[in-house]
Amino acid sequence: MSIVTDPARPVEVPVEPGTAKPRRRGSFGFNSISPTEKVVRYLLLVFVLLITIGPFLWQLSTSLKGSGEDIYTRIPRLLPSQPTLSHYGEVADTIPVWDYMKNSLLVAVLVVGGNIVGSSLAGFALSRLQFRFRRIVLGLFLATLVLPGEVTIISQYVTVRELGLANTLFGVALPGMIGALNVLLMFNAFRSLPIEVDQAAVVDGANVWQRFVYIGLPSVRGTISVVAIFAFIGAWDDFLWPLIVLTDPDKYTLTVGLQYLSGTFSNNPRLIAAGTMIAFIPIVIVFAVCQRFFFKGVEEGAVKG
C-alpha cells in the first residue's frame, strides 16, 4: 500500500506532544528575504556608496585632469581624457608640503601614542579595579561626550598657553592625547573579559600591572587598533585647533598649510584637488594597515576555556 502526497502541499513533520511545532517546508523564516526586499537593500547600498565614495572619486578625477580639459562639463565625466600627475608636482613646488606632512605626522604619532597608553590605562582602571568614586569618574567621561569641542576650545588654549606650549606641535597634540570616547571603548573592551581570569591571576600572585600587561592588553588588541585609527584620523584631519595654536608658518600642519594652496590657486581646482588627495593618502594607508591588525586582534584576543 502506497501513500500519495501532493507535491504542492507543504509536508508536515510529526512532533511529540509538548515540543515546539516545526515550520513547514518552503515557508519564509526570519532570515528569508523576498526578491523585492533584496532589490531595495541593494539600491540603498548603491546609494550610500555613491554618497560616501563619490566625492573621493571626483576629487581624484579632478586632480588627474589636464589643464586643457574642462572639469565643469554639462555631463560630468569621471575618467579624465588627458590624465596627468603634474598637478601633484606643482603642489609640492608651491608650498612645503613635505614639511607640513612631517609636522602632521609628528602630531598624529603623539596623539595615537597618548590615546593607546592613556586610554588603555584608564579603561583598565575603570573596568577592573575597585576604588572610591569610580562611578563618578565614569560619569564624568560620559558627560564630556555631550559637550562639543568648540565649547572647551578657549579653556584648552588658555591652558596650553599657560604651560608655555603655544606655537608648538606638542601643544597641538596635547588636548587630543587622551580622548573620552577612546577611554570608553577600552573600558567596554576590558569589561567584556571574564572576571574569573583576574581572580585566577590574583590567586597566582599577579599584581595589577602584571594583569594589565599579560592578561588585559593581549585580549583587547582589536580595540586598540580601533582607537589608533580614530586617534590618527582625528589628529590628521584637525584644522581649527592647529590654526589657533600655531602662528609660525614653518610649524603648520598639512591641513592648515593647504589653505595657502586654496587661496593662491582659487581659480585652479585641479591643484586644490591634488592637495586634498595628498592629505588623504596617509589616512588610507593607516586604515588599511590597522584593519588587518584589527581582525587579527579579534581572533587572538578571544578567551578560551
Per-residue pLDDT of 58-72, as tens digits, reads 888 888 888 777 777
Residue of 169, 189, 190 lying closest to 111 (CA atoms): 169
Q: Enter the C-alpha cell of residue 43.
A: 539600491
What are the residue ranges of CATH 1.10.3720.10 in the chain?
89-300
CATH architecture of 89-300: Orthogonal Bundle (1.10)
Express each pLDDT in 39-61 by its tens digit.
899 999 989 988 888 888 888 88
Check residue 112 and give its pLDDT.
Answer: 94
Check residue 262 and give its pLDDT.
Answer: 67
Distance from C-alpha of 141 to C-alpha of 51, rounded to nearest angstrom: 33
CA atoms within 13 A on the CB side of 278: 28
Q: What is the pTM of this model?
A: 0.77
Residue 304 in this model has a pLDDT that exceeds 70: no
Contact status, residue 215 vs residue 156, Cβ threshold 8 Å: no
More confident residue, 272 or 163: 163
The conformation of residue 28, written as its DSSP 8-state character, comes to -
Q: Enter the C-alpha cell of residue 124.
A: 583598565
Q: Give one DSSP letter per residue of 195-251, joined into a string.
A: HHHHHHHHHTT--HHHHIIIIIHHH-HHHHHHHHHHHHHHHHH--HHHHHH---GGG
High-pLDDT (> 70) share of the chain, %: 83
Check residue 201 and give its pLDDT.
Answer: 86
Contact status, residue 273 vs residue 62, Cβ threshold 8 Å: yes
Q: What b/e sequence results for 220-232 when a residue is b if at least 16 CB atoms lie within 10 Å of its CB, and e otherwise? A: bbbbbbbbbbbbb
Distance from C-alpha of 251 to C-alpha of 104, rounded to nearest angstrom: 9
285 to each of 54, 280, 288, how far by Cα in Å? 19, 9, 5
Distance from C-alpha of 152 to C-alpha of 144, rounded to nearest angstrom: 10
Q: Enter the C-alpha cell of residue 286.
A: 593607516
Express each pLDDT in 200-225 by its tens digit.
888 888 888 988 988 888 888 888 88
